[in-house]
Structure 1
Amino acid sequence: MPKKKLTQAEMPVADYAFYGLVWAGTVLTDRVDRALSKAHDLPVSWFEVLLWLASSPDPVPASVLGNSTMLSRSQVSRVVDALQSRGLVTRTPSPRDARSVEVSLTPEGHRLFEAADATRRECLAPVFTDLLDQDDLQALGTVWQKLKADKDA
Structure 2
Amino acid sequence: MSDPLSKRRLKMWIRLLGVTRAAEGELREFLRVKHATTLPRFDVMAALYRKREGVTMSELSRMLLVSNGNATTVVDRLEADGLVRRTPSETDRRTVFVALTPEGFAQFEGLAAEHEAEVARVFAGLSEADLDAMTDILKRVGS
- TM-score of Structure 1 vs Structure 2, range by shorter chain: 0.7 to 0.9
Within-5 A mapping of 1:30-45:
30-45=25-40
> Is the counterpart of residue 99 in structure 1 residue 94 in structure 2?
yes
Q: How many residues align?
A: 137
Which shows bigger deviation, 104-113 or 134-143?
134-143
TM-aligned CA distance change 1:51 to 1:102, over 3 Å? same
Other-structure match for 2:15: 20
Structure 2 stretches lacking a partner, 5+ long: none
Q: CA deviation at 1:141?
A: 5.6
Deviation at 1:89, TM superposition (A): 0.3
* CA displacement at 1:125 relative to structure 2: 0.7
SS in 2 for 1:97: coil
Alpha-carbon distance in 2 for matches of 1:59, 1:53: 6
CA distance in 1, matches of 2:47, 2:141: 17
Query: Could you report, residue by residue, the CA deviation over 1:7-54 in whole angstroms, capped at 9, with x for unpaired residues?
Result: xxx981321232133212211111111111222211011100000000
Cα shift at 1:144: 7.2
TM-score, normalised with respect to structure 1: 0.77
Relative to structure 1, the CA distance from residue 19 to residue 61 in structure 2 (aligned partners, 3 Å threshold; closer, same or farther) is same
Aligned partners of 1:45 and 1:71 also within 8 Å? no
- 1:103 match: secondary structure: strand
Q: Deviations along 1:43-96, whole A, 9 cap, x unmatched?
A: 011100000000113111110111111432211110000110111000111245
Among 60, 63, 68, the alignment partner of 2:63 is 68
Q: Structure 1 unaligned segments of length 5 or more: list them.
A: 1-9, 147-153
Amino acid at match of 1:125: A
Matching of residue 119 in structure 1 with residue 114 in structure 2: yes
Bigger mean CA offset, 98-107 vs 64-73:
64-73
The answer as to whether partners of 1:35 and 1:119 remain within 8 angstroms in 2 is no
Distance in 1 (alpha carbons) for counterparts of 2:49 and 2:90: 20
Tell me, in whole angstroms, the C-alpha distance in 2 between the residues paired with 1:11 and 1:110.
46
Q: Tell me how far apart the structure 2 counterparts of residues 106 and 14 of structure 1 sit (CA, whole Å).
A: 45
TM-score when normalising by structure 2: 0.82
Partner of 2:139: 142
- d(CA) in 1 for partners of 2:12, 2:90: 45
Q: Does residue 58 of structure 1 match 2:71?
A: no
Q: Percent identity?
A: 28
